[in-house]
Every structure is written in structure tokens, then in C-alpha cells.
A = this chain, B = another copy of it.
Amino acid sequence: MIKKEKPKERFSYDPKKIVKKLEEIGNQIYEAVREGRNPYIDVPTRGISNIYYDKKSKLIKMGKQTSRRYFLHVAHARKFMQTLLIASYIKRLVSEGKHASLREAYYANKHSIGGSKENTFEDQSESNPIIEDLERTLGVLREEMHITADRRGYIYGDITIQDGEDEFNTSRLGMGGWAVPGTVEHLKFTQINVDYALVVETAAMADRLIEEKFPKKQNALIIATQGQASRGVRRLIHRLHYEEGLPIIVFTDGDPYGWYIYSTIKQGSINLAYLSDKLATPGAKFVGMTMDDIKRYGLERVTEKLKGVPPNKKGGPTADYKRILEEMEYPWFQNKEWQRQFKLALKLGVRIEQQALAHKSLEFVAKEYLPEKIANEELLP
């Protein structure tokens, strides 16, 4: 039986903390200027060399390397100026309780530098890394700094959410469900009447489960990611697991892309390694689709061929085959259950979609497949 766990984290959103951290940086620079020293900021180094897999916490993490960014340095001055511009913009956003997208932050800070023809930013590829640097330096999510990520995904189930002055139950919104906003930091979960959250890759499958009344019958919250989970959805999953003790079960297509979606929810991604402890949910488990499902449920006729060239053929491995071989190497997939899946996929040379279960019947996934697997805890780690 899937049971709720004891919460391990508490609601932590506090705009005052962010403003304080930014002021500390500002003061430090101000002091340096006043004392005639060359002001600098220490920014954790980006790149794979400063990233490692922490076995204990089971997270991809950022190491301790930093690099110093000076004001009076030909190679640093532009980035230093940009960092201060963005930091000051973020302080204003957070103080005023406003949010901006990455793109808005870029447009708002793009202007000429007084007395020159130089622009502060030439394009967004200059401002995005500065925002990432600030995330690394301050150890906070960009959402906590009121820079919102692109949104995607919706939820449906018997939980009550408070968002500002509004309070609503996400099981009473017809077939639509609640659209998850880019920033979920400020949400409060005032009531949770579900036993677990089922994270579903495709909208079509989430809608199938809603139509079959799965959320009510199984006491589950449905979280539809609509492809790769957005940052908002990943943070929501993390918060529901660690602040509310909700078990997280992931349901994707049985292919390298689906498994990668699971991997990102569970362990975080390499380019956001420094945020794993806020975005990732190592406690998540995987219900399907697995390669074993094909034989077990007689789905042989509704599989599809893997794309690309197998490793033992000329020019291989490419596409799906290459992806599977890469995923086999991930530290968190070093267990017999997942290695078995990857080997089976390579051997059979096929993939299987969530919606292929409709071959049995439309109800099958909601009435047999998921309830049985979840009740028996037939889940991959």
C-alpha cells in the first residue's frame, strides 16, 4: 500500500530573505568602492566539472568551485555591470511583489549605457546566464526572485489550494483542471484529501483518467506534465512530496523520452544541478510503461519500432538506441530493475506508449493497469 510520509520540509517562501541576500551583495560592493578596493562577486562555476552525483541525497549537485567576477577587469567588467543591473531589477520586483518572465527581464534592462553607443544587453542569451548566476550565487530559485518560468501542465484531484485571495478545490473544475502557473512558491495547500500524486506524461492519458473518475476512485491527484515537466510542475511535485508527504508515482510512455522525463523529475537535470534540492524528488517512483508490460498485457501488436540505428549496426547507435545507452549509464539507474528495462528495450527494439493500453479497452488503464500495479507496489525505483 502506498502511504503518505511524514513531511520533511516546511513552506519556505519568504521574499524578505531574498531582498536581504541581494542587499548583502550590494553592501559588500558599496563598501569596496568606498574603501577604494576593486569590487567583486563570487559566482559558483558553471559546467560539468563543478557537478557531481551525491549518493546520500540521491541528487545531482553543484560543487564548491567559484570564480571571482571583478568590476575593474577588462574581461569581467561587462558581466559585472550586467549582474548588478539584474540584481537591482530583481530587488525591485520582489519588493513590489511583481513577477517578470526571462524575456521581460531582458527587455526591461536592455538600454544604451549613458554617454556611449554600447547596449547593456545585446540579446537574451546575455541576460539568461546572469539570472542563472544569481540563482547559483544566492542559492535560491529564480521563481523565488520573481522571475517566472514558462508554464505548462495542469492538475486535477481533491486538494484545496490557496493562491492569494483565491481558494479552490482542483477536483471541482470540470474536465479542465487547474492550469499550473510558472511560479508555485507562494501556493498554500490548505487541504489534501488524496493518498498520492500520479504524474502523467500526456494530456490525453490524464484526460482519460479524469474521464474514468480515477482521481476520485483511487484517491489520487493527477498531475499532467504535457511532455517534459515545466519548472513550475517540478517544484509543485517537490513541494507536495516534501512539505505534504505525498507519495509521487510517475507514469510515462515506455521510451527513452518518457524515462528521461522521469529521470528529470526524480534527480534533476545537469544544467539545473544547482537547484536539484528544490526541484527534484528522489523519492518518486515509476509505474510504467515498462518493457515487461508488453508481454504481461499482450501488447505486442501495438508496440512501435525504436527509432534510429542499433549499436551493432553500421553507423549505430543513433536516436532512441543512443539515448537508451546514455540513460543506462545514469548513476540513479544503476539498479537491476532499470538495467533490465533498458536491456529489454534494446533486445526487443521497440517502444510502447501509454495510450497503447487503449488496445485492451478505454477503461483498462484506470480500472486494472494502474490500480493493480499501485496496490501491489509494482513500481520501479
Chain A residues proximal to chain B, CB less than 8 Å: 98-101, 103-105, 107-108, 110-112, 119, 148, 150-152, 154, 161-164, 166, 168, 172-183, 187, 203-204, 207-208, 211, 226, 301-302, 353, 355-359, 361-362
Contact = CB atoms under 8 A, between A and B. Distances in A.
B302 A107 contact: yes
Contacts of A226: 152
B204 A101 contact: yes
A79 B143 CA distance: 52
Total copies of this chain within the assembly: 2
A244 to B, nearest CB: 17
A108 B161 contact: no
Given A174-B164, A178-B173, A207-B181, A110 B301 contact: yes
Given A108-B362, A176-B178, A207-B181, A103 B168 contact: no
Contacts of A356: 107
Contacts of A187: 174
Contacts of A148: 204, 207
Contacts of A107: 302, 353, 355-359
A180 B164 CA distance: 22
A104 B204 contact: yes
Contact of A110 (B112, B172, B177, B359): B359
A356 B180 CA distance: 25
Contacts of A166: 172-174
Contacts of A152: 203, 226
A120 to B, nearest CB: 10
Contacts of A180: 176
Contact of A358 (B104, B178, B302): B104
Contacts of A359: 107-108, 110-111
A362 B164 contact: no
Contact of A182 (B207, B353, B361): B207
A107 to B, nearest CB: 4
A-B pairs with the 9 shortest C-beta distances?
A163-B174, A154-B179, A104-B358, A101-B204, A179-B179, A175-B181, A107-B358, A103-B355, A107-B359
Contacts of A362: 98, 100, 104, 108
A179 B182 contact: no
Nearest to A163: B174
Nearest to A105: B358
A208 B301 contact: no
A154 B226 CA distance: 14
A358 to B, nearest CB: 4
21 contacts: A98-B211, A101-B204, A101-B208, A103-B204, A103-B353, A103-B355, A104-B204, A104-B208, A104-B358, A107-B356, A148-B204, A148-B207, A154-B154, A161-B174, A163-B173, A163-B175, A163-B176, A166-B173, A174-B181, A176-B180, A182-B203
B172 A168 contact: yes
A166 B375 CA distance: 29
B164 A175 contact: yes
A159 to B, nearest CB: 13
